[in-house]
Amino acid sequence: QNTRLTDGPHLCSGKVEVLHNGTWTTVCDADFDQENAEVVCRQLGCGRPVEVLRAAAFGRGEGQVWTEELQCRGNESEIYSCPRTSSPKHCSHDSDVGLICSGYTAARLVNGWDSCSGRVELQYLSDWGSVCGDSWDMRAASVLCGQLKCGSAVAVLVADWFGEGSGHIWADVFVCHGNETHLSECPISSWSRTACSHKQDVGVICNGSSQAFHEGRVRLSGGRECEGQVEVYFIQDWWRVLLDSWSVSEASVICRQLGCGSVLNFSSSSPSSPDQHIHMCVMGFNCSGSEAHLGNCSSANLLNLSCSSREQLSITCSAHSSIRLVGSGGDCAGRLEVFLNGSWGTVCDDSWDIEDAQVVCRQLQCGVALSAHVPAWFGRGTGPIWLNEVQCEGNETSMWNCRY
Over its C-alpha atoms, the chain yields an Rg (Å, rounded) of 30
Q: Dihedral through CA 288, CA 154, CA 306, CA 249, nearest 10?
A: 10
Edge to edge, the sheet with strand 343-347 lists 322-326, 335-340, 343-347, 385-387
Are residues 321 and 282 in contact, defined by beta-carbon separation less than 8 angstroms?
no
Are residues 219 and 153 in contact, defined by beta-carbon separation less than 8 angstroms?
no
The Cα–Cα gap between 231 and 289 comes to 18
Q: Which of 150-164, 302-316, 381-395 has the lowest mean pLDDT?
A: 302-316
Of 224 and 71, the one with more pLDDT: 71
Query: Do 326 and 385 share a domain, yes or no?
Result: yes
Query: Do 156 and 137 share a domain, yes or no?
Result: yes
Domain boundary among 101, 123, 138: 101
In this prediction, residue 320 carries a pLDDT of 47
Say if residue 380's pLDDT is above 70. yes
The Cα–Cα gap between 390 and 382 comes to 19
What is the residue range of 122's domain? 106-206
Report the pLDDT averaged over residues 251-280. 71
In this prediction, residue 275 carries a pLDDT of 39
Mean pLDDT value across the chain: 83
Spell out the long-range contacts of 210-213 with Cβ–Cβ below 8 A and sequence spacing 24 or more. Answer: 210/113, 210/114, 210/117, 211/112, 211/113, 211/114, 211/117, 211/235, 211/236, 212/116, 212/117, 212/154, 213/154, 213/155, 213/295, 213/299
Q: Are strands 106-111 and 117-124 parallel, antiparallel or unpaired?
A: antiparallel
Report the pLDDT averaged over residues 138-158. 89
Residue 301 banded pLDDT, cuts 50, 70, 90: low
Task: Give domain status of residue 237, yes or no.
Answer: yes
Q: Dihedral through CA 19, CA 22, CA 24, CA 25, nearest 10?
A: -80
8-state DSSP, 94: G
Domain boundary among 101, 133, 151: 101
Query: Do 127 and 176 share a domain, yes or no?
Result: yes
Query: Do 118 and 79 share a domain, yes or no?
Result: no
Percent of the chain at pLDDT > 70 equals 89
Task: Give domain status of residue 213, yes or no.
Answer: no
Query: Do 122 and 199 share a domain, yes or no?
Result: yes
Task: Give domain status of residue 211, yes or no.
Answer: no
How many Cα neighbours within 13 Å face the side chain of 251?
A: 24
Task: Give domain status of residue 212, yes or no.
Answer: no
Query: Do 69 and 148 share a domain, yes or no?
Result: no
Q: Which of 83-92, 182-191, 253-262, 323-332 has the lowest mean pLDDT?
A: 182-191
Percent of the chain at pLDDT > 90 equals 25
Which of 24-28, 132-136, 168-172, 383-387 is predicted most confidently? 24-28
Query: Do 313 and 328 share a domain, yes or no?
Result: no
Query: Do 303 and 337 share a domain, yes or no?
Result: no
Report the pLDDT averaged over residues 331-342. 81
Cα separation of the two ends of the chain:
75
The residue count for the chain: 404
In this prediction, residue 213 carries a pLDDT of 60
| Among 114, 84, 93, residue whose Cα is nearest residue 28 | 93
Query: Do 194 and 230 share a domain, yes or no?
Result: no
Task: Give domain status of residue 229, yes or no.
Answer: yes
Say if residue 277's pLDDT is above 60. no
In this prediction, residue 273 carries a pLDDT of 45
Query: Do 223 and 311 share a domain, yes or no?
Result: yes
Task: Give domain status of residue 177, yes or no.
Answer: yes
Domain boundary among 44, 76, 101: 101
For residue 225, the one-letter residue type is E
In this prediction, residue 185 carries a pLDDT of 76
Query: Do 257 and 332 share a domain, yes or no?
Result: no
Residue 392 banded pLDDT, cuts 50, 70, 90: very high
In this prediction, residue 194 carries a pLDDT of 64
| Among 315, 312, 232, residue whose Cα is nearest residue 272 | 312
Are residues 295 and 251 in contact, defined by beta-carbon separation less than 8 angstroms?
no
In this prediction, residue 109 carries a pLDDT of 96
Collapsing DSSP to helix, strand or coil, 114 comes out as coil
Query: Do 302 and 240 share a domain, yes or no?
Result: yes
Of 259 and 229, the one with more pLDDT: 229
Collapsing DSSP to helix, strand or coil, 17 comes out as strand
292's CB contacts (< 8 A; 6+ apart) are 253, 256, 257, 365
CATH of the domain at 376: 3.10.250.10
Of 328 and 54, the one with more pLDDT: 54
Say if residue 191's pLDDT is above 50. no
| Structural domains in the chain (count) | 4
Give 3-state DSSP helix, strand, coil % of the chain, rounded to 5: 15, 35, 50
The Cα–Cα gap between 21 and 1 comes to 13
Task: Give domain status of residue 47, yes or no.
Answer: yes
In this prediction, residue 85 carries a pLDDT of 82
Residue 355 banded pLDDT, cuts 50, 70, 90: very high
33-74 pLDDT, tens per residue? 999 999 998 888 777 888 899 999 999 999 889 878 889 999
In this prediction, residue 296 carries a pLDDT of 75
Task: Give domain status of residue 262, yes or no.
Answer: yes
Are residues 68 and 21 in contact, defined by beta-carbon separation less than 8 angstroms?
no
